[in-house]
Amino acid sequence: MPGTDVQRTIDAVWRIESAKLIAALARLVRDVGLAEDLAQDALVAALEQWASAGLPDNPGAWLMAVAKRRAMDHFRRQERLDRKVAELGREFETAGTYDDGLDDAIDDDIGDDLLRLIFTACHPVLSTQARVALTLRLLGGLTTEEIARGFLVAESTVAQRIVRAKRTLAAKRVRFELPERAERAERLDSVLEVIYLIFNEGYSATRGDHWMRPALCEDALRLGRILAGLSPDEPEVHGLVALMEIQASRLRARTDETGAPVLLLDQNRALWDRLLINRGLAALQRAESLVDRRGPYTLQAAIAACHARAPSPEETDWIRIAALYAALMQAAPSPVVELNRAVALGMAFGPQTGLDLVDELMAEPTLAKYHLLPSVRGDLLVKLGRHEEAQREFRRAAELAGNERERALLADRTVAAGERASAP
């Protein structure tokens, strides 16, 4: 095999196997950082050997066998020929080489190992940024370079974040285990938050001149689906997956040919991905069947589903959406949710109803710099024929927007409102 082919194949193998590999190793060595180092070592060995010897029949098991051998070497070097080595040795001997027996042994526990890995990577002792980087690295199989590209930061920054995160986990003696029942809900929230954050970073880039980075959305969706497979009885996991599937269904419709953003109601619905919508609706149904009181992700998915089901903007069930936002305000109150509810109220019961609520939100300090507040207010004012005020709102929104594309869109609307204001 020529060198580049081996590299590409190994990249593919890594993408498929790395999370399982790291998870299984972390259980053996009780240290996520060390587990990743061992897995990386095995990867380097693979690169050297597969180039000449060709690909083994079971690359995952091959990597695991090499990594375990490295683990033993590591502990020997540490002169800690203790229980751990005995344990590893025993497993290694009974497993023999990288045959199917070992593979089965890994498979039995792999689900729990992966869950442990997700919960560890998203541990609340870590900063959100660290959790995101570590999760993409350990579970998504992404390189630091890919993560850096996704989040538009320097590769060294990402590398540093990961190193520091691993050090924090070790220093705080975070155990590689599933959270106790009492803690579980909170820890799961942290996991879901990280996955959704990754998705959103791809869905509407907070910075830079690109509106979306679809690869990040795909990574997040993949993580969400993995989590759903591992914890089938958690309604909010399915709720999050449903939300992401439905939102991802619109990826292609969210920009025009020039890359400028297209708002939901202006989108060409033929470009919405029906397969993802149907998957999303199925996941939503699953979430709703598991629980009486819907959680925040499930409620947001239910809202997204209302749009997905509507053949045209005019046929959208805005009354239902407004009701779902009201429920969301109960489940997870926030000024942003209230702003969205104002939009829905405006659509369901007329712009003045929406504007009344937006006006209440004008005093909300957390929204003071949020560009969508003046943007929404501008929309409602346009509908009420108050173009001059609308122009001021769009101008302010454009000033506050962090994304170049979004800023351009708002600037256009400022001009449009201005033209209408001065029209006879």
Partner 1 sequence: MRVMVFVKASPDSEAGVMPGEEELAAMMKYNEELVKAGVMLAGDGLHPSSKGARVHFSGDSRTVVDGPFTETKELVAGYWLWQVSSMDEAIEWLRRCPNPHGKEGIVEIRPVFEPEDFGDALTPEIHEQWQRMEAQQGS
For binding to partner 1 (CB under 8 A), which residues are involved?
Answer: 8-9, 11-13, 15-16, 59, 111, 215, 218, 221-226, 229-230, 252, 268-271, 274-275, 277-279, 281, 309, 311-312
Nearer to partner 1, 284 or 344 (CB): 284
C-beta closer to partner 1: residue 193 or 218? 218
Query: DSSP letter string over 310-351?
Result: -SSGGG--HHHHHHHHHHHHHHS--HHHHHHHHHHHHHHH-H
* Comparison of 72 and 230: residue with beta carbon closer to partner 1: 230
Cβ atoms within 10 Å, residue 90: 10
Beta bridge partner(s), residue 261: 255
Q: CB of 112: closest distance to partner 1 in angstroms?
A: 13
Q: Which is nearer to partner 1, 69 or 222 (CB)?
A: 222
> Amino acid identity of 190?
S
The DSSP symbol for 256 reads: -
| Contact (Cβ atoms closer than 8 angstroms) between residue 310 and residue 316 | yes
Contact 305, 284 (CB under 8 A): yes
Question: Smallest distance from the beta carbon of 60 to partner 1, in angstroms?
Answer: 8
- The distance of closest approach from Cβ of residue 365 to partner 1 in the complex, given in angstroms and rounded to an integer, is 40
Q: Identify which of residues 309 and 320 has a Cβ nearer to partner 1 in the complex.
A: 309
Structure tokens at 5: 């082919």
> What distance in Å separates the CA atoms of residue 48 and residue 42, rounded to the nearest whole number?
10
Cβ closer to partner 1: 142 or 373?
A: 142
> In this structure, are residues 165 and 140 in contact, taking their beta carbons and an 8 Å threshold?
no
Minimum CB–partner distance for residue 367 and partner 1 (Å): 35
Alpha helices in 139-234 (DSSP H): 144-151, 155-171, 181-203, 214-230
Minimum CB–partner distance for residue 229 and partner 1 (Å): 4
**Cα–Cα separations (whole angstroms), residue 165 to 168, 294, 399:** 5, 33, 36
Question: How many of the other CB atoms lie within 10 Å of CB of 323?
Answer: 16
The minimum distance between CB 390 and partner 1, in angstroms, equals 28
CB of 12 to partner 1, least distance (A): 4
Q: Which is nearer to partner 1, 257 or 292 (CB)?
A: 257
Q: Exposed (0-12), middle (13-18) or buried (19+): which is 79, by Cβ within 10 Å?
A: exposed
- Residue 390: closest CA among 405, 404, 380: 380
Q: Which is nearer to partner 1, 52 or 312 (CB)?
A: 312
- Shortest distance in whole angstroms from residue 24 CB to partner 1: 15
* Least Cβ distance, residue 279 to partner 1 (angstroms): 7
Q: Which is nearer to partner 1, 148 or 372 (CB)?
A: 148
Question: Ramachandran region of residue 69, left (φ > 0), alpha (ψ -120 to 50) or beta?
Answer: alpha
